[in-house]
């Protein structure tokens, strides 16, 4: 048995039926010419695979020691692994659109993994249009993180379309091939020799320095709660309550979309920022538009947990080596340029907090600061005391075109975790010349999550307009006018226009009235009274017409659909049909 470390065990401890703790993704492929999905599945030699054929921990299941559930957890090798249970073959109903694919993935991502078996599944899905098929995989977060999952994909992929392999991504041979491809070797356990043992003093000094560095980071972290953090954003501090920060159930909804990397990179060059800055700005604009559409945009800005990899160079093991930075999304700022700059300042402050720490020190710091979040999750208090508003993760992927047994990989769309207090997760992977977004949300807490795809595109267009890469959108003519009375077709009578022509300029009546009052003539006074009576009668008639109009036209509340039929003259906006 191998003991499961605290970082990995945290995902097992926090898991329950409403909050599955597995990650996964959808790989989209185009079949080679003349090949079928059945032929592709037949090339995978699955018969006779044993636990020894898989890399750790994909041939192992979770167990406990003598202390039972109260003690540590361990990985135990599964001597009777059932490959047919873990590798499944599915087909989409007609017409095989992405909508049907996302509906299937949403259901598959909602079910828990069986802890009596190795914690992974692979689903080969056929029936897509355009000679495509999909591979949905899910693995427990205790076994792997985002960077390691991309290593699994690359282990069975090649830039050569003629390359063939019978291996699964979790197999040991695929892992060894990947290490050989990148010129790395599997890490071995280091046993110190005599010269190394003589360096005990240096080791103790390093340990002391590490403690000092971690304590210094904790002081800066805590100071942010008292207004001494500058632009540093921290969990729980001024985190607003929205429909995202609620309790969740077990049902999920998954949507995905790709954006050209060149578009985002062009914005990066124009602003002098990183891809992650632009991605966070896109997500911020999309979340702002989503909350405005549901009439719940908070006064305080949303905060996002932005995971960062803490893997040391040459670390290709499974498991988790990840920390996080709290990003201020500046959703309370309407100006997109100011919003982007605020996000940049927040990310710079978060990176400066970790800059002086080694990967080991950063891991210790992250474990200490994540303990409260783990406790609130285990106690069911995360929805009442949300540490963040959402999770936005950017996973680096391969930059070249890949093939799996001759099938061209068209995209890889991640599917991550949501849990109480964090009902939405946005994760993206950079692949070839695109950024592939995968959004997972609680199906009940966040309706119409598919609209986030449109909102992300709107946010990117807005950023392109700010930096001058796209012409600003033209405003509607009615918004350029001096008044905001709406379209003229709603005005039934032309009488107000005639009255407006006869009425003198705004300043002249005041001047004439003042002159008449100074003269004190009876004619001037009677004229003023006559004009006052005429205005009063006009206002009375207008009120009567307004009341009559309000009786005939029912009021429509914001966010609700009118129950009356729309006339042919009125323009009706077409409904948006989503692919999910």
Instruction: For residue 178, give the nearest of 165, 191, 189, 188 by alpha carbon.
Output: 165
Instruction: For residue 44, give the nearest of 150, 99, 124 by alpha carbon.
Output: 124
**Per-residue CA distances from 288 to 282, 284, 296, 332, 459 (Å):** 10, 6, 9, 8, 10
So what's the pLDDT on residue 190? Answer: 44
Burial of 208 (0-12, 13-18, 19+ CB in 10 A): exposed
Angle between helix axes 172-181 and 146-155 (nearest 10 degrees) is: 90
The residues spanned by each domain of the chain are: 2-181, 208-475
In which residue are the tokens 């307009």 written? 465
Q: What are the φ and ψ backbone dihedral angles of 26, each rounded to 5 degrees?
A: -120, 115
Q: What are the φ and ψ backbone dihedral angles of 531, each rounded to 5 degrees?
A: -65, -40
Instruction: For residue 148, give the nearest of 333, 316, 299 by alpha carbon.
Output: 316
Please tell me the least confidently modeled range out of 146-155, 295-304, 569-578: 569-578
CATH 3.90.550.10 fits 2-181, yes or no: no
So what's the pLDDT on residue 47? Answer: 74
The answer for 48, left when phi > 0, alpha when psi is -120 to 50, beta otherwise, is left
Cα-only R_g, the chain:
31
Say how many C-beta atoms besides its own lie within 10 A of residue 151's C-beta: 19
So what's the pLDDT on residue 227? Answer: 52
Q: Give the single-character DSSP code of 380.
A: T
pLDDT (tens digit per residue) in 405-453: 999 999 999 999 998 888 999 999 999 999 999 999 999 999 889 999 9
Helix %, strand %, coil % for the chain, to 5? 40, 20, 40
Is the pLDDT assigned to residue 532 strictly greater than 70? no
Rounded Cα gap, residues 404 and 156, in angstroms:
6
**Per-residue CA distances from 2 to 62, 64, 201 (Å):** 10, 11, 31
Between residues 181 and 290, which one has the greater pLDDT? 290
Is the pLDDT assigned to residue 363 strictly greater than 70? no
Is the pLDDT assigned to residue 380 strictly greater than 50? yes
What positions carry a catalytic annotation? Answer: 141
Instruction: Place 42 in a pLDDT band, splitting at 50, 70 and 90.
Output: confident
Is the pLDDT assigned to residue 231 strictly greater than 90? no
Q: Are 302 and 351 in contact (CB under 8 A)?
A: no
Instruction: Place 265 in a pLDDT band, splitting at 50, 70 and 90.
Output: very high
Please tell me the least confidently modeled range out of 50-54, 109-113, 380-384, 485-489: 485-489
Rounded Cα gap, residues 205 and 52, in angstroms:
41
Rounded Cα gap, residues 569 and 487, in angstroms:
12
What is the dihedral sign for C-alpha 534, 537, 541, 547? Answer: positive
Is the pLDDT assigned to residue 161 strictly greater than 70? yes
Instruction: For residue 489, give the nearest of 499, 498, 479, 478 by alpha carbon.
Output: 478
Q: Are 255 and 579 in contact (CB under 8 A)?
A: yes
So what's the pLDDT on residue 528? Answer: 46
Instruction: Place 374 in a pLDDT band, splitting at 50, 70 and 90.
Output: low
Instruction: Place 524 in a pLDDT band, splitting at 50, 70 and 90.
Output: very low
Rounded Cα gap, residues 438 and 427, in angstroms:
5
> Quick one: tokens of 290?
């989503």
Rounded Cα gap, residues 61 and 85, in angstroms:
14
Q: Are 580 and 103 in contact (CB under 8 A)?
A: yes
CATH 3.30.559.30 fits 208-475, yes or no: yes
Strand-pairing partners, residue 91, are: 126
Q: Are 123 and 135 in contact (CB under 8 A)?
A: yes
Q: Are 104 and 125 in contact (CB under 8 A)?
A: yes
Rounded Cα gap, residues 203 and 259, in angstroms:
48
Between residues 259 and 69, which one has the greater pLDDT? 259
Is the pLDDT assigned to residue 368 strictly greater than 70? no
89 Cα distance to chain centroid: 29
Say how many C-beta atoms besides its own lie within 10 A of residue 472's C-beta: 9
pLDDT (tens digit per residue) in 237-260: 678 889 998 889 999 999 999 999
Is the pLDDT assigned to residue 518 strictly greater than 60? no
Please tell me the least confidently modeled range out of 144-158, 175-189, 265-279: 175-189
pLDDT (tens digit per residue) in 295-350: 999 999 999 888 776 555 555 555 555 567 788 999 999 999 999 999 999 888 87
Q: pTM of the predicted model, to two decimals?
A: 0.71
> Quick one: tokens of 119?
């914690």
Instruction: Place 372 in a pLDDT band, splitting at 50, 70 and 90.
Output: low
So what's the pLDDT on residue 369? Answer: 61
So what's the pLDDT on residue 194? Answer: 46
Between residues 29 and 5, which one has the greater pLDDT? 29
In which residue are the tokens 């010349």 written? 433
Rounded Cα gap, residues 106 and 450, in angstroms:
12
**Per-residue CA distances from 99 to 236, 425, 428 (Å):** 37, 19, 19
> Quick one: tokens of 565?
């039929």
> Do 208-475 and 2-181 fall under one CATH topology?
yes
For the chain, give me the number of helices (H) and strands (E)? 17, 15
Query: What is the chain's mean pLDDT, rounded?
Result: 75
Instruction: For residue 403, give the nearest of 31, 26, 146, 24 by alpha carbon.
Output: 31
- In the chain, % of residues over pLDDT 70: 64
pLDDT (tens digit per residue) in 541-551: 555 454 444 44
So what's the pLDDT on residue 138? Answer: 95
Is the pLDDT assigned to residue 203 strictly greater than 50? no
So what's the pLDDT on residue 222? Answer: 53
In which residue are the tokens 């079928």 written? 36
Side-by-side strand order, sheet with 2-3: 2-3, 73-77, 60-64
Sorted by sequence, the CB contacts under 8 Å of residue 423 that are 6+ apart come out as 243, 244, 245, 246, 248, 441, 442, 445, 446
So what's the pLDDT on residue 323? Answer: 64
Rounded Cα gap, residues 573 and 576, in angstroms:
9
Q: Are 133 and 124 in contact (CB under 8 A)?
A: yes
So what's the pLDDT on residue 101? Answer: 97
- Among 25-39, 328-342, 373-387, top mean pLDDT goes to 328-342
């Amino acid at each position: 048995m191998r003991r499961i470390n605290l970082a990995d065990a945290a995902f097992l401890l926090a898991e329950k039926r409403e909050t599955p703790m597995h990650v996964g993704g959808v790989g989209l492929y185009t079949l080679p010419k003349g090949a079928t999905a059945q032929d592709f599945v037949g090339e995978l030699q699955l018969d006779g695979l044993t636990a020894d054929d898989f890399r750790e921990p994909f041939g192992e299941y979770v167990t406990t020691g003598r202390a039972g559930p109260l003690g540590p957890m361990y990985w135990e090798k599964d001597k009777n692994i059932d490959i047919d249970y873990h590798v499944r073959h599915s087909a989409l109903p007609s017409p095989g659109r992405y909508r049907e694919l996302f509906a299937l993935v949403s259901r598959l991502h909602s079910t828990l993994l069986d802890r009596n078996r190795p914690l992974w599944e692979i689903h080969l899905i056929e029936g897509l249009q355009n000679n495509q098929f999909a591979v949905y995989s899910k693995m427990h977060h205790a076994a792997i993180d985002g960077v390691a999952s991309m290593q699994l994909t690359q282990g069975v992929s090649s830039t050569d379309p003629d390359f063939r392999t019978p291996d699964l991504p979790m197999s040991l041979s695929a892992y060894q091939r990947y290490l050989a491809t990148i010129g790395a070797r599997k890490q071995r356990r280091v046993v110190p020799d005599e010269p190394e043992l003589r360096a005990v003093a240096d080791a103790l000094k390093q340990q002391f320095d590490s403690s000092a560095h971690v304590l210094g980071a904790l002081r800066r972290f805590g100071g942010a709660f008292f207004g001494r953090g500058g632009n540093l954003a921290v969990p729980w501090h001024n985190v607003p309550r929205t429909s995202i920060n609620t309790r969740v159930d077990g049902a999920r909804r998954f949507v995905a979309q790709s954006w050209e990397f060149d578009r985002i990179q062009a914005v990066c060059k124009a602003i002098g920022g990183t891809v992650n800055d632009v991605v966070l700005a896109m997500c911020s604009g999309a979340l702002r538009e989503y909350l405005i559409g549901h009439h719940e945009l908070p006064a305080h800005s949303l905060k996002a947990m932005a995971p960062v990899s803490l893997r040391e160079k040459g670390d290709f093991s499974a498991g988790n080596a990840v920390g996080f930075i709290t990003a201020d999304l500046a959703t309370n700022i309407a100006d997109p340029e100011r919003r982007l700059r605020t996000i940049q300042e927040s990310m710079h402050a978060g990176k400066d907090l970790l800059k002086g720490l080694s990967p080991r020190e950063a891991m210790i710091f992250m474990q200490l600061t994540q303990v409260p979040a783990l406790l609130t999750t285990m106690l069911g208090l995360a929805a009442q005391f949300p540490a963040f508003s959402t999770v936005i993760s950017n996973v680096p992927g391969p930059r070249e075109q890949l093939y799996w047994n001759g099938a061209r990989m068209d995209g890889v769309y991640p599917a991550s975790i949501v849990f109480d207090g964090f009902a939405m997760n946005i994760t993206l992977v950079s692949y070839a010349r695109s950024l592939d977004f995968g959004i997972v949300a609680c199906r009940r807490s966040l309706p119409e999550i598919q609209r986030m795809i449109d909102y992300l595109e709107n946010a990117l267009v807005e950023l392109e307009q700010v930096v001058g890469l796209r012409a600003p959108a033209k405003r509607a003519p009615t918004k350029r006018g001096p008044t905001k009375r709406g379209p003229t077709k709603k005005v039934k009578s032309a009488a107000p226009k005639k009255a407006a022509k006869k009425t003198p300029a705004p300043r002249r009546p005041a001047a004439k009235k003042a002159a008449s009052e100074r003269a004190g003539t009876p004619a001037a006074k009677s004229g003023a009274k006559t004009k006052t009576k005429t205005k009063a009668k006009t206002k009375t008639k207008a009120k009567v017409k307004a009341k009559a109009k309000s009786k005939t036209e029912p009021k429509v509340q914001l966010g609700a659909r009118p129950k009356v039929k729309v006339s042919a003259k009125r323009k009706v906006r077409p409904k948006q049909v989503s692919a999910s």
